[in-house]
Chains A and B, each alone.
Chain A
Amino acid sequence: MNKVENFRPRIEGGVGEAIVHDSAHKHVAGRALYVDDIPEPPGTLHLALGLSARAHARIVSMDLSKVRAAAGVVAVFTHADIPGENNVGPVFKDDPLFAVDVVEYVGQAMFAVVADTRELARAAARLADISYEDRPAAITIAQAAAANLELETPQRMTLGDASAALARARHRLKGKLVMGGQDHFYLEGQVSLAVPGEDRDMLIHSSTQHPSEMQRLVAHVLNIPHNAVTIEVRRMGGGFGGKETQGALPAAAAGLAAAKLRRPVKVCLDRDDDMELTGKRHDFEIEYDVGFGDDGRLDGIETILSSRCGYSADLSLAINDRAMFHSDNAYFLNNASLLSHRRKTHTVSNTAFRGFGGPQGMMGIERVMDAIAIHLGKDPLDVRKVNLYGDAPRNVTPYHQTVEDNLAPDLIAALEKSSDYRRRRAAIVAFNANSTVTKRGIALTPVKFGISFTTTFLNQAGALVHVYTDGSVHLNHGGTEMGQGLSIKVAQVVAEEFQIDLSQVKITATTTGKVPNTSATAASAGADLNGMAAQDAARTIKKRMTALAAEKFSCAPADIVFRAGRVEGNGHAMTFAELARAAHLARVSLSSTGYYATPKIYYDRTMHRGRPFFYYAYGAAVSEVIIDTLTGENRVTRVDILHDVGKSLNPAIDLGQIEGGFIQGMGWLTTEELVFSDTGKLLTHAPSTYKIPAASDRPEIFNIALWDGQNREHTIHRSKAVGEPPLMLAISVFSALTDAVASVGDYKLMPNFDAPATPERVLFAVEDVRRRSGA
């Protein structure tokens, strides 16, 4: 009970500090271990998958004798070898691990081959002799609509009376926008290493955002209890939603082979196989019929959303719900009817991807804003501003949640000023008048993104914290690290709580053995949920330590203060480590779980009404582009972003999320094009043909600022989620391209082009505007 020396005002690495990623040193040195880098246990075998060559066909026969006979092959497995359920689907049991009788997309897994090396397994997998009997395949949304294929009945959200509003509107426009999907292109492909233990135990190192679901699905495939399966993930080489459910098939395949052979089995998908086998962002078609006044303010809108879901449900229902949830973006629709068709197609089952349907929904309404502006001859920003949510009654969403935290008007006004938007627009219009070949465009678009899983029960999290007698802390929680900086943020929360340096907090691999029954690290909610759960665990321990300190210092617990590495009260102090040691000697537990469930949220999906979101995250971006009207080539030359992360837990991490999200969204809307053949084969299944942004695509002028504010809701240190919302800032790029193309027709005609805005689409849009304007 001595006075503490080395008094410091503050800990190092607390909440709000801009700290680099916890693994940065290991990343740059090549010493961070990913699943494929874990030293292979002796006897490890390698698994490759045999994939369907047809989009929709009956499997007439599957002769695998050549596969079995191939060099190095140890075993071959089909659905007949599965002891439990032949399913890796997360919600509905409609995703077979291996196809039975029928295949429903090109690239569907039909069997697994296990061999001494990955190369031999891959070579053997191609030797299967399979005969198919083709069935009618619906590859496109239109084909699925014609065949009336859907995953569930169409869903509708209603606000007011849209058809009446349209009937009496002064202006009315109809249009359609088609958006392509997007491959996640995580740099680390899907990978799992299954290691059988004693009894029926199975340890699987999986690159997954959702360890608990991998555990559950593997257990069901193997017909063993959940407690026999442990899923561990230290880090992923990128996730973006692509490892929320899509890791299940590789994990289950490796688990099956390991259980059967009683040997470790690894599957590390080749990039082409990964891109063919695993789901992507949903393609969408959005048709709108909008009515508005002379000032551009909406009277009402009827929107029909149709998506390509692929052959199975996966998460498509929730994704399509979220497309509807964000069909308003930041705007009061006044009267709205949103109809959503979830089309089943004979293509890969589309899945979660950063934004989870939200980006597609927003694209629809932002296209509407541009169309209205051109129709009325207004600056699109003025049309956007006049439609923003405001005071009651202009604060009700189509799903009847009241917008309580409407930052958009102030945030847009600030960005409009800081980006010098008006002057630049005028300069661009002047430039375009004198430039024949190249044309420039500019646009400011907002983002309002709802935070929470819209499936309410998923909004819970657990954590496990141990304090050791040297004062060091072991931190574990259900969230997974995919590069987004979740680990460091939660560690900062715990360091802040205990008032110890961040270096004292050990970040550990996520494992289903420590924190059970977790939700996916998804919906941007990782830090919100796990930060709160970890804080809860730390507070439980801290409370016990506080009681002990109060006893030792002869004061009330309320007088005990944890500050910068020490614990003080009644004129006494000791270090955190000393108190930990004392607690152990006094037989006080220094370990606790923590738990959090998001308050206030509820949702009635039958009515599509409720409060699905705890709060909204806001942002806005101004993008400036240039196009070449001879070739359609285009570039983003400048971007200014103002984004709301509440009170940032870690500004360095948040800025990284904003920039990275923006560029990823820009890729979705410009160069990233998924091309399927008429027979359903993905033709862009590798980086040679699928083009994500490269370094030179980053706008040379790129200003990012954080909105100075805090979450009005009681979130972890009043921060806001940041994972997904910035992606949608890139919609400003698409609107700026629209603006540039519109200049060809003197801003009088709305360009018709779809996403992604490849050179081809931009050139054709330019030609179309020229034709229509008689230029």
Chain B
Amino acid sequence: MAATRDTVRFRLDGALHEVRNPDPTLTVLRWLRINGRMGTKEGCAEGDCGACTVVLAEMGDGKPVFRAVNACILFLPMIDGMTLYTAESLSAANGPLHPVQQAMVDLGGSQCGFCTPGFVMSLYAHYRNGAVADEDTLRDVLAGNLCRCTGYGPILAAGRAMGGYPNTTEAVPDPVEADVMLALTHSDVRGGTRRFFAPHSIKELEEISAAHPQATYVAGATDVGLLVTKKLQVLQTIILVNKVVELRRIVDTGTALEIGASVRYTEAFAALASLHPDLGELLRRLGSVQVRNSGTIGGNIANGSPIGDSPPPLIALDASIVLNKCGARRTLPLDKFFLSYGKQDRAPGEFIEKIVIPKPAPGTVFRTYKLSKRFDQDISAVCAAIAFGNHKGAARDVRVVFGGMAATPKRAAHAEAALEGKPWTEPYVRAAMAAMEQDFTPLTDMRASARYRMEAAKNLLLRAWLETAATPPARIARAKALAL
């Protein structure tokens, strides 16, 4: 095997930090606080409140890219090679504040102040990326930061105002050269030795996977992180897949999009949204900026959750995945990957290499919807996707897929049959809605009752039909007040 390195290296406030063989699942949040950096707070330890938001800078296409991420479920070795910023990084003690901070002060953006450093960092990433601060964008930028005091108005106002403050001189991030594969060996205080590998190439990944077939694969850790912080699991061996260059690519083959398994949601957004605006809106509502800046579509599929938001639309688009085990590749239609609750068609040591999404043929009708208690940053009660072609006035190759309705993301075979080859008219849509009773027996849980899931799922099919009519009804997600 190639040379490896046992020291995690990253920059913080200009200083290079080198941490030798740390606990592989020590979170960035814990590392900061152990080292007396108390500005970054723990609010939930599951990536849902944003109080721990920090910013990471990496080089991308020759210029630095700034990502707001949740430090509470981010493992320290994952920031190897990066530049880390916290709220304290933005201004010296008793020194002038950064424009983002000053805007927050001037507009009354803090009350109790506990969530504030996280908001500052979400705004800071947006500021550094030079993006436009329009209202919708800001609401999205801040969707992953919860505030219980302000009602958000002053914070949104600060976001609108921050661009108007005099610029400060921003230090250009100086990421650390990622030379060789990070391979950590950590003696656990509870006994035993734990390992962490961050291969750089698919070849290295194949080798490490062969040597450690029981390892836990980690891409963004937005899910695996909770195994550590909530279930208190001790992960013996971790293979981080998001340094593997081949897995980080998006390829447009002309007829299909190939998304590498380690491509983050944020990075895949433009390509996927170009397939259909609905897919873009669904992704926008998946998690939060912080989650989408870390999480990957590959991870969303690989974890096999019945309520992941990407599988339903991808299945509707007839996506397939390429699995790799020691270099042996196989291609699997995505819906075949999900065998049963918690069980996927993946052998030990086998990893997802990429997702292949055929581009919809001209005339294809596609819709995808997400239902949740809260519009932004909520896990779906029901996620729906439908796609079909039009052949001489009849629906063809109908795919109706739901998340949250069964133990896996699942096609509605009876509903599809009721629509296949039929005119796309209300009677057939109603018949398909009725047929869904045979397709699903949803559960009642804290997100929704079985009855709601079934009725709403049927109605989403109806919504798809209504939306293909001449005057489609408005969507509520971004509804405005009645104009007078």
Residues of A within 8 A of B (CB): 20-21, 23-34, 36-37, 39, 71-72, 119-120, 122-123, 126, 184-189, 235-240, 268, 270-272, 420, 423-424, 427-428, 431, 435-438, 440, 482-485, 624, 626-628, 630-635, 637-638, 652, 655-656, 659-664, 671, 673, 675, 683-684, 686-689, 691-702, 758-760, 763-764, 767
Contact = CB atoms under 8 A, between A and B. Distances in A.
A630 B462 contact: yes
Contact of B484 (A427, A437, A759): A427
A688 B447 CA distance: 10
Given A30-B86, A187-B43, A700-B480, A691 B378 contact: yes
Nearest to A271: B44
B482 A29 contact: no
27 contacts: A21-B110, A24-B105, A27-B116, A28-B87, A30-B38, A30-B120, A187-B41, A187-B148, A240-B148, A271-B43, A438-B476, A482-B112, A630-B456, A630-B459, A635-B375, A656-B149, A659-B150, A671-B373, A687-B48, A691-B372, A694-B376, A696-B375, A700-B481, A701-B481, A702-B153, A759-B456, A760-B456
Nearest to B445: A683
B371 A34 contact: no
Contacts of A28: 87, 97, 100-102, 104-105, 109-110, 116-117, 120
Contacts of A120: 189-190
B147 interface: yes
B482 A427 contact: yes
Interface in B36-61: 36-46, 48-49, 51
Contact of A185 (B148, B374, B445, B474): B148
B114 interface: yes
B116 A683 contact: no
B117 A270 contact: no
Given A27-B117, A637-B480, A691-B373, 18 more contacts: A24-B109, A28-B97, A31-B93, A120-B189, A120-B190, A187-B114, A237-B112, A237-B113, A238-B149, A271-B44, A424-B484, A438-B476, A485-B111, A630-B460, A633-B375, A660-B148, A686-B48, A695-B156
A760 B479 contact: no
Given A71-B189, A760-B449, A21 B111 contact: yes
B146 interface: yes
B481 A660 contact: no
Interface of B: 30, 33, 36-46, 48-49, 51, 86-88, 90-91, 93, 97, 100-102, 104-106, 108-117, 120, 135, 138-140, 142-143, 145-156, 189-191, 230, 232, 371-379, 381, 445-449, 451-452, 455-456, 459-460, 462-463, 466, 473-477, 479-482, 484
A238 B449 CA distance: 32
A688 B48 contact: yes
Nearest to B159: A695
Nearest to B25: A119
Q: Is the interface of B mostly helix, strand, loop or mixed?
A: loop
Residue of A436, A689, A702 ringed by the most chain B CB atoms within 10 A: A689
Given A21-B113, A437-B466, A627-B476, A691 B153 contact: no
A694 B374 contact: yes
Contact of A27 (B43, B86, B113, B451): B113
Contact of A697 (B101, B138, B374, B451): B374
Contacts of B371: 631, 633, 759
Contacts of B36: 39
A26 B140 contact: no
A767 B451 CA distance: 12
A650 to B, nearest CB: 10
Residue of B104, B115, B152, B378 ringed by the most chain A CB atoms within 10 A: B152
Contacts of B466: 437
Given A29-B91, A693-B374, A188 B38 contact: no
A652 B108 contact: yes
Contacts of B106: 20
B279 to A, nearest CB: 19
Nearest to A685: B446
Contacts of A189: 43
Nearest to A484: B111
A237 B41 contact: yes
B117 A30 contact: yes
A240 B149 CA distance: 9
Given A187-B148, A238-B114, A633-B371, A126 B105 contact: no
B97 A25 contact: yes
Contacts of B142: 694-695
A437 B473 contact: yes
Nearest to A627: B476
Residue of A25, A31, A37, A694 ringed by the most chain B CB atoms within 10 A: A694
B482 A431 contact: yes
A435 B111 CA distance: 41
B323 to A, nearest CB: 29
Contacts of B149: 238, 483-484, 656, 660
B135 to A, nearest CB: 7
B138 A695 contact: yes
Nearest to B155: A695
Contacts of B150: 656, 659-660, 663
B101 A695 contact: no
A361 to B, nearest CB: 23
A33 B116 contact: no
